[in-house]
């Protein structure tokens, strides 16, 4: 062979290895655009890909080369993450970690080999875009010659099913409201758990103890959603299936923050895969799918002339979404009854210590096998009202006694083939506690948000074993990019492989994976608003090759850290007959900058403002030291007012600096102490937003200056209320309260 031919052959060989020469290249062009949708009767902005929501289903066969060309027509950057897919790190689609955002009016190509099979999905990893349309199904099929091909499962007709939710409120505003403890969502869902509701339910003592332990109302799902969707629709039908047919549903939970109960009116479901990995088939009556998880289930059509409902019910049970399989009379699945929140609150009280820490009472909880929320389920206690939806044409419901229900948990998952890691590999042990602050909506790991941590260094070739303890009162679906991990669930060498682990409150679970894919890989809670609030980490391989998409990785990582610790703004103003008072605040996970004002309509009532800059201290953030500035003016004609310590204050024109602290007491009372530069001392006790009824709130304040205030507010809309109050300086007032 001549040197020329030899060089050509070597060149072709290199091309074949690097670019998959001889493999099937499957290309998709995805155009990302702004659009207007109407899911709830209101037109709202969303993001469409190729003109549709959800994004197009992408299908590949193991062995293909995926080539996805993204055309960004938005006015903002975007990205796409291939959830659960093994790929080169630079193709993983996390802005500022594996690539720069795809800039407006530019094109970016993702290209990677398909070296696995299973049900997956893909979504934007930029900001909160996933919430408004950027999610879609991703199906990786087995080859017909695959030795793991299962007859009667892998050859069934399949239907990609992607679950999601829709809110008419901009997701950025949703996130801001969560950080400001705005409970408009609770009002919409009927879950405020006010004192009047507690008395009616016979749980006044439960409510009082709940607030004595400084806890807000029992929460199941953070966000109120206007509509729940399956494949972009609330209700749809697959009429092509007939009696005797078996159908494989490839289900992905593409919701931003919703868990879904899945059930089927045609009988049991057979679970055959989870997170893209085969499992030994297991029959269940229902299962809960965590945010970002995937499950493959096989269902059958029992009779001709009937369309059987596949029902997805969000965990808070406010609404539902359905697909009907078959053609004919609709057979509905029994609706899940409303949750018993005060029973859940009573149980939570018993598990929470006064300092805000969890008391596990010696229970060994793991793998969803002991659901701490079971006490809230009426169908378990048999007190549920299993009623039908009278707005739908149907012949009846499938009914089943709750005591006979088989509910899937992680302990029931078993891999069909051994999944053991190399026995001779070094083991790196890590432990994380999932931590959070519901009052301020701060989510963290080991009480640190991403902006307060460095990357976690691991070495290629070692086994990484992670113990996760959920010390918060919310469940967290923890997702690892680029790898599957073994869930140590008692199945020995047949432990199932997953890439998302839903961890219930108080659970301790252990996962492990072989570090075999170099790069920087995200590990985070997949509830979108928890992730954006700081519950993230990055696993970084030592001595990894440079990423061509990130020329300045140190700068990019700082950008990523900043994204999960943004400042959030809130403001409220009361326009009353006796004056104007209000407040404004900007906060992130640690810092708070707030100002309050009270403005009378004449000099006798006076004008005053207080500004504080503080930092929250401690795991539960009960304590905040601050520095401040206080300005007051009131026409008193030189008359001095004395506080309870005998210190005089004319209030004529007082501008002073201060140092002080704020502490959250039991019953969610706020105690504030302040020393001013003129030697004046003030202590103040107050509480706002005490829920008398779902919409009626009480507030009061008293301080050592002998000032006091009490008032009520009735919430009309998300941003408007009517209020009345009495102030020791300005007297009685009636007006309207506007908040943002």
Share of the chain above pLDDT 90, in %: 77
pLDDT band at 347 (very low <50, low <70, confident <90, very high): confident
User: What is the pTM for the complete model shown?
Assistant: 0.91
**Segment among 43-57, 333-347, 419-433, 478-492 with least mean pLDDT:** 333-347
Does pLDDT of 638 surpass 80?
no
Confidence (pLDDT) at 637? 67
- 563 or 649: which leads in pLDDT: 563
| pLDDT tens track for 277-315 | 999 999 999 999 999 999 999 999 999 999 999 999 999
| pLDDT tens track for 436-471 | 888 899 999 999 999 999 999 999 999 999 999 998
ω into residue 54 within 30 of 0, thus cis? yes
Does pLDDT of 642 surpass 50?
yes
- 646 or 143: which leads in pLDDT: 143
Whole-Å CA distances, 687 to 265, 572, 616 = 49, 15, 18
Q: How far apart are CA 447 and CA 433, in angstroms?
A: 8
Q: Say which residue the tokens 């059930």 belong to.
A: 263
Q: How far apart are CA 228 and CA 166, in angstroms?
A: 6
R_g of the chain computed on alpha carbons: 29
SS3 45: strand
Cβ within 8 Å of residue 189, ≥6 positions away = 224, 316, 318
Share of the chain above pLDDT 70, in %: 90
For residue 263, list its beta bridge partners: 286, 311
Element (H, E) at 44: strand 44-49
Rounded to an integer, the average pLDDT of 351-369 is: 62
Query: DSSP assignment, residue 207?
Result: H
Picking from 307, 379, 373, 375, the residue whose alpha carbon sits closest to that of residue 505 is 373
Cβ within 8 Å of residue 669, ≥6 positions away = 685, 686, 687
Query: DSSP assignment, residue 438?
Result: T
| pLDDT tens track for 565-608 | 999 999 999 999 999 999 999 999 999 999 999 988 877 778 89
pLDDT band at 316 (very low <50, low <70, confident <90, very high): very high
| pLDDT tens track for 243-287 | 999 999 999 999 999 999 999 999 999 999 999 999 999 999 999
Contact between 326 and 300 under an 8 Å Cβ cutoff? The reply is: no
| pLDDT tens track for 90-108 | 999 999 999 999 999 999 9
Q: How far apart are CA 733 and CA 730, in angstroms?
A: 8
Q: Say which residue the tokens 């520095």 belong to.
A: 627
For 58, phi and psi rounded to 5 degrees?
-100, 130
| pLDDT tens track for 363-389 | 456 666 666 567 778 777 655 444 444
Q: How far apart are CA 536 and CA 453, in angstroms?
A: 9
pLDDT band at 395 (very low <50, low <70, confident <90, very high): very low
For 206, phi and psi rounded to 5 degrees?
-60, -45
Confidence (pLDDT) at 369? 61
Confidence (pLDDT) at 10? 34
* Sheet of strand 269-274, all strands in order from the earlier edge strand to the far edge: 227-230, 158-166, 246-253, 294-300, 269-274, 277-284
Q: How far apart are CA 174 and CA 178, in angstroms?
A: 6
Q: Say which residue the tokens 């309207």 belong to.
A: 736
Q: How far apart are CA 722 and CA 713, in angstroms?
A: 6
DSSP 80-99: -EEET----GGGS--BTTTB
SS3 520: strand
- Cβ neighbours of 521 (radius 10 Å): 24
Any idea what the Cα angle at residue 621 is, between residues 214 and 694, rounded to 5°?
40
- Cβ neighbours of 696 (radius 10 Å): 16
DSSP 577-635: TTEEEEEEEEE-SSEEEEEEEEE-SSTTT-EEEEEEEEE-BSSS--EEEEEEEEEEE--
Confidence (pLDDT) at 14? 37
Both structure tokens of 682: 């003030």
Confidence (pLDDT) at 60? 98
- As a whole number of angstroms, the longest Cα–Cα distance in the chain is 109
Q: Say which residue the tokens 């049991």 belong to.
A: 268
Rounded to an integer, the average pLDDT of 52-70 is: 98
pLDDT band at 351 (very low <50, low <70, confident <90, very high): confident
For residue 445, list its beta bridge partners: 434, 448
Does pLDDT of 46 surpass 90?
yes
Confidence (pLDDT) at 645? 85
Whole-Å CA distances, 692 to 192, 711, 712, 722 = 10, 12, 9, 15
Confidence (pLDDT) at 378? 79
Any idea what the Cα angle at residue 126 is, between residues 82 and 138, rounded to 5°?
20
Q: How far apart are CA 121 and CA 56, in angstroms?
A: 10
- 643 or 708: which leads in pLDDT: 708
For 342, phi and psi rounded to 5 degrees?
-70, -30
pLDDT band at 729 (very low <50, low <70, confident <90, very high): confident
Any idea what the Cα angle at residue 40 is, between residues 39 and 42, rounded to 5°?
95
| pLDDT tens track for 194-237 | 999 999 999 999 999 999 999 888 888 889 999 999 999 999 99
Buried (b) or exposed (e) across 250-279, using 16+ Cβ within 10 A?
Answer: bbbbbbbbbbbbbbbbbebbbbbbbbbbbb
Alpha carbon 715 to chain centroid, angstroms: 26
Does pLDDT of 490 surpass 50?
yes
Q: How far apart are CA 641 and CA 444, in angstroms?
A: 46
Confidence (pLDDT) at 97? 97
Confidence (pLDDT) at 438? 84
pLDDT band at 6 (very low <50, low <70, confident <90, very high): very low
Q: How far apart are CA 706 and CA 414, in angstroms?
A: 67
Confidence (pLDDT) at 50? 98
Alpha carbon 54 to chain centroid, angstroms: 19
**Segment among 280-289, 646-655, 697-706, 723-732 with least mean pLDDT:** 646-655
Both structure tokens of 637: 């004609």
Q: How far apart are CA 108 and CA 99, in angstroms?
A: 10
Does pLDDT of 15 surpass 60?
no
Helices 204-212 and 341-351: crossing angle, nearest 10°?
40
Any idea what the Cα angle at residue 490 is, between residues 501 and 419, rounded to 5°?
70
Element (H, E) at 700: strand 696-703
The mean of the pLDDT values for the chain is 90
Contact between 676 and 657 under an 8 Å Cβ cutoff? The reply is: yes
Query: DSSP assignment, residue 740?
Result: -
pLDDT band at 403 (very low <50, low <70, confident <90, very high): low
Residue 159 φ/ψ region, left for φ over 0, alpha for ψ in the -120 to 50 degree band, beta for the rest: beta
Any idea what the Cα angle at residue 358 is, between residues 216 and 561, rounded to 5°?
75
């Amino acid at each position: 062979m001549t040197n020329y031919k030899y060089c050509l052959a070597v060149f072709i060989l290199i091309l074949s290895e690097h670019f998959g020469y001889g493999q099937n290249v499957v290309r998709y062009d995805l155009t990302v655009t702004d659009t207007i949708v109407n899911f709830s009767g209101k037109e709202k902005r969303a993001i469409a890909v190729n003109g549709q929501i959800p994004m197009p289903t992408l299908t590949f066969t193991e062995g293909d080369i995926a080539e996805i060309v993204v055309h960004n027509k938005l006015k903002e950057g975007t990205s796409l993450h291939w959830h659960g897919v093994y790929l080169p790190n630079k193709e993983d689609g996390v802005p500022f970690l594996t690539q720069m955002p795809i800039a407006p009016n530019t094109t970016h190509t993702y290209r990677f080999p398909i070296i696995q099979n299973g049900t997956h999905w893909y979504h934007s990893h930029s900001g909160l875009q996933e919430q408004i349309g950027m999610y879609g199904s991703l199906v990786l099929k087995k080859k017909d010659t695959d030795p793991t091909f299962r007859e009667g499962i892998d050859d069934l007709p399949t239907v990609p099913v992607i679950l999601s939710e829709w809110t008419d409120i901009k997701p950025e505003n949703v996130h801001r409201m969560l950080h400001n403890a705005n409970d408009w969502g609770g009002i919409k869902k009927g879950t405020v758990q006010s004192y009047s509701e507690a008395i009616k339910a016979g749980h006044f003592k439960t409510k009082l103890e709940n607030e004595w332990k400084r806890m807000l109302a029992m929460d199941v799902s953070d966000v109120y959603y206007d509509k729940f969707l399956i494949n972009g629709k609330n209700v749809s039908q697959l009429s092509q299936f007939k009696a005797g047919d078996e159908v494989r549903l490839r289900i992905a939970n593409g919701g931003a923050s919703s868990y879904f109960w899945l059930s089927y009116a045609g009988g049991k479901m057979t679970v055959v895969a989870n997170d893209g990995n085969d499992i030994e088939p297991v029959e269940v009556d229902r299962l809960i799918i965590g945010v970002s998880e995937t499950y493959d289930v096989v269902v059958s059509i029992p009779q001709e002339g009937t369309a059987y409902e596949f029902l997805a019910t969000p965990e808070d049970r406010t609404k539902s979404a359905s697909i009907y399989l078959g053609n004919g009379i609709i057979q509905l699945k029994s609706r899940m009854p409303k949750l018993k929140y005060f029973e859940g609150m009573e149980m939570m009280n018993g598990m929470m210590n006064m300092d805000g820490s969890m008391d596990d009472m010696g229970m060994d909880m793991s793998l969803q096998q002991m659901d701490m929320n079971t006490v809230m389920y009426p169908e378990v206690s048999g007190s549920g009202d299993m009623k039908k939806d009278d707005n739908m044409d149907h012949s009846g419901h499938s009914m089943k006694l709750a005591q006979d229900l088989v509910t899937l948990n992680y302990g029931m998952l078993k891999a069909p083939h051994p999944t053991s890691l190399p026995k001779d590999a070094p083991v790196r042990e890590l432990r994380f506690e999932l931590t959070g602050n519901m009052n301020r909506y701060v989510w963290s790991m080991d009480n640190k948000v991403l902006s307060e941590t460095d990357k976690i260094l691991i070495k290629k070739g070692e086994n990484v074993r992670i113990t996760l303890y959920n010390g918060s009162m919310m469940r967290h679906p923890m997702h690892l990019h680029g790898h599957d991990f073994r869930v140590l669930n008692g199945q020995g060498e047949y432990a199932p492989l997953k890439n998302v682990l839903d961890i219930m409150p108080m659970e301790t679970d252990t996962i492990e994976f072989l570090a075999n894919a170099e790069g920087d890989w995200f590990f985070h809670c997949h509830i979108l608003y928890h992730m954006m609030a700081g519950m993230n980490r990055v696993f970084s391989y030592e001595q990894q090759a440079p990423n061509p998409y990130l020329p300045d990785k140190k700068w990019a990582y700082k950008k990523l850290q900043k994204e999960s610790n943004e400042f959030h703004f809130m403001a409220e103003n009361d326009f009353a007959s006796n004056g104007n008072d209000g407040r404004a605040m900007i906060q992130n996970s640690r810092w708070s900058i707030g100002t309050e004002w009270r403005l009378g309509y004449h000099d006798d009532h006076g004008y005053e403002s207080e500004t504080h800059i503080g930092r929250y201290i401690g795991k539960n953030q009960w304590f905040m030291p601050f520095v401040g500035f206080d300005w007051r003016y009131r026409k008193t004609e030189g008359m001095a007012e004395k506080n309870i310590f005998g210190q005089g204050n004319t209030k004529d024109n007082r501008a002073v600096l201060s140092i002080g602290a704020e502490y959250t007491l039991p019953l969610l009372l706020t105690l504030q102490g302040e020393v001013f530069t003129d030697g004046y001392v003030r202590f103040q006790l107050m509480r706002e937003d005490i829920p008398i009824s779902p919409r009626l709130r009480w507030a009061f304040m008293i301080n050592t200056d002998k000032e006091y205030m009490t008032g009520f507010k009735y919430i009309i809309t998300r941003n408007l209320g009517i209020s009345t109050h009495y102030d020791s300086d300005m007297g009685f007032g009636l007006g309207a309260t506007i908040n943002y």
